Amino acid sequence: MSRIYAWDGIVPVIDPTAFVHPEAVVIGDVIIGPTVYVGPGAVLRGDFGRIILQAGCNVQETCVIHAFPGKDVVVEELGHIGHGAVLHGCHVGRNAMVGMNAVVMDEAVIGENTIIAAMAFVKAGAQVPRNSLAVGSPAKVIRELSAEEIEWKRRGTGVYQQLALEARDKLVPATPLTAPEPDRRRAEAPRYDPLVLERRGFSERP
């Protein structure tokens, strides 16, 4: 059971097809849509403002999402929030990616299909245009993304959509072994399926 807490009578909403890891923490005014993946150690704290994760997005391990008082955090459909990233009072556009350990501050807007590089710092109020690659601290747009790069990002997010659907059956508590088994099987990532939401009867757009 995930660590789900009401705040002042406001209870989080989690779509039945989403996967929220048992070691994630979800507090208050948080709305998690279809086939969203939330990884272990992620903290979604909806006590100051609303947090919305739209269909098919993912929030990976140890991410922190929080809002400036009275503001919302929105991650649109197919948004991809990498390991250790921090979102604070910002808006992440459709099919955008925030890289590992990046920080996106209050009232910043990340455009559709944009990639924020790992370790980047997006300052408060920044407007990062669609289809861009932004790097550095403070983050600056260095070029437009190619169609191939945008498709690469979309495929990576598709793997996490499939993971959200498979994880509830694959993840079970276990007692560690004292030694590897002979011919130990290796873990395999889910196969990319570009129509994973449609096959399960969901639309990418709410």
Q: What would the pLDDT profile of 88-125 be if each residue is shown by its tens digit?
A: 999 999 999 999 999 999 999 999 999 999 999 999 99
Domains along the chain with CATH numbers: 3-144 (2.160.10.10)
Using omega within 30 degrees of 0 as the cis cutoff, is the peptide bond preceding 16 cis?
Answer: no
Q: How far apart are the first and last CA of the chain?
A: 26
| Distance in angstroms (rounded) separating the CA atoms of residues 184 and 51 | 41
- Going from the C-alpha of 103 to that of each of 43, 64, 163, 181, the distances in angstroms are 14, 10, 25, 41
Say if strands 132-135 and 140-144 run parallel, antiparallel, or are unpaired: antiparallel
Q: Is 85 exposed, middle or buried (0-12, 13-18, 19+ CB in 10 A)?
A: buried
pLDDT digits (tens, 9 = 90+) for 44-93: 999 999 999 999 999 999 999 999 898 999 999 999 999 999 999 999 99
| Residue 7 DSSP one-character state | B
| Distance in angstroms (rounded) separating the CA atoms of residues 45 and 53 | 13
Model pTM score: 0.91
Phi/psi for 156 (5° steps) reads -60, -40
